[in-house]
Structure 1
Amino acid sequence: MASSYSTPGVYINEVNAFPNSVVPVATAVPAFIGYTPRADYQGQSFYNKAQKISSFAEFQALFMLDNPPPPADPARQYSPQYYLVPQPSEPAPADALTLNGQCYAVLPDPNTLYYLYNSVQLFYQNGGGDAYIVAVGTYGPASHKPLAAPAAAVVNPNVQLTDLQRGLALLRNEPEPTLYICPEATLLSVADNGTLMQGMLLQAQQMGTAVCVFDVIGGANPDPVLYTQDIQTFRDNTGSNGLSYGVAYYPFIGTTIMQQADIDFTNLFGGDVSRLAALLNPPSAPNPAAAKLLEMIQNPPANPMSNSQLQAALLSASAVYSQIVTQVLACANLLPPSGAMAGVYTVNDNNNGVWQAPANVGIVGAIDLPICLTDDQQANLNIDAVSGESINAIRFFNGQGILVWGARTLDGNSQDWRYISVRRTVIFLEQSIKQAVRSYVFQPNDANTWAAVKSMITSFLTQVWQEGGLQGASPADAFQVDVGLGSTMTADDLLNGYLNVSVKVAVVHPTEFLVISFQQQQAKSG
């Protein structure tokens, strides 16, 4: 207000009646790091950039080809290649089938396996919304040979640690993502995967804005007995920093993402139809109809049929071919669960709040698991006395289907940060309040500012308490906000420009172990 007026008249002075408010930050915004067939739009490249998207259609427009070539070109679009490799004896591996009395293992060309595209599909299929895509490169060339053995580790040499680390570093300038997801990290070697996980945890801890969702190497085809070695290897390679910012899920999940239209004869034997002909039209069981179709593929007529037409005709003409495609689809649809979990987090946060544990819920599109864990087996995943690194199980229950059956961070022995919902709730509160109090930077460090800051934070936390995010019979039991000279600041703090605020919250913890005690008693007469 002016100290004096020179001209007679009426003057208006507006006074703020309400303090600033805290705007809640988004809690489920994943950042996917990995490889895509392309990353450009209208001449602008999106490689090595953190690009925000809001739908799967937008992802396709920026990172997938408008008019993809035939699937035989794996360097241009996602087209995994599989080989049927004869096995000397039974028992066959899980991803195998018997044709004409011979057992075959269905083995991929590791150089053609990528997970980002299907993981983003899983994210949106499970209710995902806004997300960031960090495309670090395009697909590399195929090796034109299958995996060395059914039990061999799947390592794609086209997936490079340096590429993924570069993509991770780009997120240092992006405070909005709340989940770091790198599904193709499981295609690295064990050592490189460990280096990447440790880097992700360290960055998440330093920024304090996100948690890392990890997949476990070996979760795609676990040995029924020796799977515990994969679990121990994972724990040995996560390091000891930032464990409360990490979450792991096991095993992989069998999905319905890829359909029969996504797999055809060009995905088998690197497109070598002659090797397929030996299976569909063997001398011991000739199939003239299949032989004619295969001849049309190898030597197209003047008016050739399209690949989709040939595919449909082959499926109808040969039961063996149908069996092969079914098995290959099952292998191609076995995906790391991190992308699906990002969608589960989004729906959970929107419907229940970030303080609700994202567990005891189903995964849309999950139809099978490579291993069905029991209670005793999960006990070793959920609680580890040595490292304390908890791994959340995805399990099958009769009558209920496939459920997420775990709610712990990697810091499983910590009373403060044991649960995912606690860590994510505190991140939500910290970042929301941090953004709100920025408006008070350079304001007078006096009682008026202290009262305004305290009122603003108190109002926000009261709202969170009313929604069920904090525990306590009253707001006074749920949180405490202190600010001011003599309580959170000294005279030296004022001289140095510090405004210290102390916030204590009672975060809701999930009910993990529900114990019911039963005791017999005698019947009472009367």
Structure 2
Amino acid sequence: MAAIFKYPGVYIQEQSALHHSVSDLPTSVPAFIGYTEKALKNGESLLNIPTKIRSFAEYVNFFGVGFNAKFDILDLLSNDSGIPIKVKSGKKVLDYVPNHKAYMFASIKLFYDNGGKDCYIVSVGTYGDASSVTVEADDLLGTKIVNGNILEGGLNVLKNYVEPTIIVIPDAVNLASVQCCQVYQRVLSHCFEMENRFAVLDIHNGFQKGMAGHATNDIITNFRAQIGTQNLKFGAVYYPWLEAIIDRSEPTFQNINLPLGELKQLLPENRANAIIDEHLKINDITADINQNLHLALLTASLTYKDIIKTIKVLKNRIPPCGAIAGIYVATDNNRGVWKAPAGVSVNSVIKPTVHLSSTEQELLNVDAVSGKSINAINYFTGRGTLVWGARTLAGNSYEYRYISVHRTILHVKKSIKTGLKPFVFEPNNTNTWVAVKNMISNYLNALWRDGALVGSQPEKAYFVRVGLGQTMTAQDILEGNMIVSVGVALIKPAEFIVFKIIQNMQDS
């Protein structure tokens, strides 16, 4: 409507030069859920409050460092998750003391080492100076009941935040196998409900050799059986775990869950036994004295040295989810969300805990029965440790088989949905339809020019339809519904490259 002027003079009218547009929303902002040393910012508690950080230094400042774990030396037959060692009495196995594993700190370090940037941290519990870390599914999910009320936190509290697009729960693997997969099921359901999120998952006990369907109690078979069948396109799982270079601290005999007198019985070297005997005679033990004992035992006992070396390996045996989340971020920023986050090296890693043959990778990548694809991480001579899989858990789905395809769809849907919000309550007429079509077309054209869509011409890469007789009936308009139909032709990774060699036979 034209302005009504009531007296002569000069009038200034501000006219907006901006038109409605679809903003390209962030695609890679992970949210990490787990246990931290502390959860404080400026003296205020951050417990169960999603907190955005921008660097590893910020994480350490607000959430502290890793848990100072201890390790048991056990009979070989009583443990199948530790690492065998040889002591005076024969073969034993070295493993974490129960409730001494917490993977949040190491996962965040791997995240930033592999290209991570902004992320959210949800601390569901702190260990501080505690003697153990008790991981509970209710903590991680935010379903814990305190005084008859649900303690809002964990995964549930992220429903109130729109920015996170990737969910990572490193400590879920510290639950029992069934519980771990139950947590993952809830995560996949959460991603489905939020419509813009994708889960990065680990295999429970994924440091062990998997048979991919050849054994009934195999870790791969168990995972596929326990993960369920719902919302599989909203997540991807990676195997095996990684032997990383994260914890560079030097463990000592104080990290071994044995009194010195019992440790002495495991060391065959007489010189080491004598050193321990002398140490036990000292009344006032200081940190320096303990450190001197550690250094002396390293020199006097190859057995002790091997125990310490094995502890280092265990402390750096880490599920890959943090590194993978970092690779997602780096790939999105460098190439785009439509580029498969695979074929790239994993930083700060010595090697995967399990080496996979081509046949084993094949059984992981494609499972004809369940269709639940598992992405391999493998070592390649001359190339290092590479992510060698790009599939969602819905491996048999033609539309949502690939991580990059589904994440691009999630990104496009969320961006267009956000861009359409200013049109709520606008007249449902031709002018609005033209504006909507132009806005979405401009956005998709930009994606096409960036290489996200297939097609030599824009009209072959996407379409946008809106209008009476196209997407709506007169009844739709009467009911206040504006229906927009959008089609996109997404690029897919060249997962299988086939080349043919033809020998041209000529008469001599």
Query: Fold match, TM over 0.5?
Result: yes
Report the Cα distance in structure 2 between the residues aligned to 1:229 and 1:300, rounded to whole angstroms: 50
Return 210-219 or 448-457, whichever deviates more: 448-457
Q: Distance in 2 between matches of 1:440 and 1:22?
A: 12
- Is 2:119 the partner of 1:107? no
Q: Matched residue of 1:402: which SS? A: strand
SS in 2 for 1:133: strand
Cα distance between partner residues in 2 of 1:30 and 1:55:
13
Report the equivalent of 1:78: 67
Residue identity matched to 1:83:
D
The 5 Å alignment of 1:291-306 reads: 291=276, 294-295=279-280, 299-300=283-284, 305=288
Which consecutive residues of structure 1, in runs of 5 or more, have no partner in the other structure?
A: 66-76, 144-155
Q: For residues 255-280 of structure 1, what are the alpha-carbon distances to aligned partners after superposition, in whole Å with 9 as ceiling and x for unaligned?
A: 0111133x22221116x333333445
Quote the residue 1:69 is aligned against: none
State the match for 2:205 in structure 1.
Answer: 218
The answer to whether structure 1 residue 433 and structure 2 residue 416 are counterparts is: yes
Offset at residue 81 of structure 1 (A): 1.2
Residue 32 of structure 1: CA displacement? 1.0
1:16-52 Cα shifts (integer Å, max 9, x gaps): 4442222211111111111112212233111122121
Write out per-residue CA displacement over residues 466-523 of structure 1, whole angstroms, 9 at most, x where no aligned residue.
1111110011111001112221222222222222211100011000111112232224
Counterpart of 1:230 in structure 2 is 219
Q: Which amino acid aligns with 2:137?
A: L
Aligned position for 1:476: 459
**Is the Cα contact below 8 Å between 1:125 and 1:364 reproduced in 2?**
yes
- Alpha-carbon distance in 2 for matches of 1:446, 1:122: 52
The one-letter amino acid paired with 2:370 is S
Residue identity matched to 2:247: M
Alignment correspondent of 2:366: 383
The count of aligned residue pairs is: 493
SS in structure 1 at match of 2:271: coil
CA 1:260/1:309 → structure 2, altered by over 3 Å: closer, same or farther? farther
Q: 1:286 aligns with which of 271, 294, 297?
A: 271
Structure 2 residue identity aligned to 1:218: N
Q: Which residue in 2 is equivalent to 1:73?
A: none
2:407 equivalent among 412, 420, 424: 424
Q: 1:257 aligns with which of 239, 246, 260?
A: 246
2:399 aligns to what SS in structure 1? coil
Residues 371-520 of structure 1: pairs in structure 2 closer than 5 A: 371-520=354-503
**What secondary structure sits across from 2:400 in the alignment?**
coil
Match of 1:164 in 2: 140
The whole-number CA distance in structure 1 between the counterparts of 2:112 and 2:413 is 27
Aligned match of 2:36: 36
- SS for the counterpart of 1:519 is coil
Counterpart-to-counterpart distance in 1, 2:265 and 2:183: 43
| Structure-2 separation of matches of 1:426 and 1:405 | 22
Is residue 317 of structure 2 the alignment partner of residue 330 of structure 1?
Answer: no
Between the aligned partners of 1:314 and 1:463, the Cα distance in structure 2 is 65
Q: Does the 8 Å CA contact 1:99/1:320 hold for their aligned counterparts?
A: yes
Once the two structures are TM-superposed, the CA of residue 4 in structure 1 deviates from its matched residue by 3.0
Work out the CA distance in 2 between the residues paired with 1:201 and 1:484.
35
Q: Decide whether the 8 Å contact of 2:437 with 2:466 is kept in 1.
A: yes
What RMSD in Å do the two structures reach over aligned CA positions?
2.6
Q: Give the CA deviation at 1:251.
A: 0.9
Q: Could you tell me how far apart the structure 2 residues matched to 1:105 and 1:50 are?
A: 39
AA partner of residue 405 (structure 2): V
Q: d(CA) in 1 for partners of 2:364 and 2:299?
A: 45
Q: Counterpart amino acid of 1:160?
A: E
Give the 3-state SS of the residue equivalent to 2:115 in structure 1.
coil
What TM-score, normalized to structure 1? 0.87
Give, in whole Å, the separation in 1 of the partners of 2:353 and 2:469. Answer: 60
Residues 3 and 136 of structure 1: is their aligned pair in 2 closer, same or farther, counting only changes over 3 Å? closer
Q: Distance in 1 between matches of 2:435 and 2:490?
A: 24
AA partner of residue 241 (structure 2) = F
Q: Which amino acid aligns with 1:97?
A: I
Unaligned runs of 5+ residues in structure 2 are 143-153
Q: How high is the sequence identity, in percent, across the aligned residues? A: 40
Q: SS of the residue aligned with 2:398?
A: coil
SS in 2 for 1:413: coil
Letter in 2 for 1:503: V
* Aligned-partner Cα distance in 2 for 1:200–1:292: 53
Contact 1:48 1:170 in 2 (8 A): yes
Cα distance between partner residues in 2 of 1:48 and 1:477: 47
What's 2:109 paired with?
121
Contact 1:289 1:317 survives alignment (8 Å): no
Query: What CA distance in whole angstroms lies between the structure 2 residues aligned with 1:330 and 1:213?
Result: 24
The secondary structure found in structure 2 opposite 1:286 is helix
Q: Which amino acid aligns with 2:472?
A: M
**Cα offset, 1:324, TM superposition:** 1.7
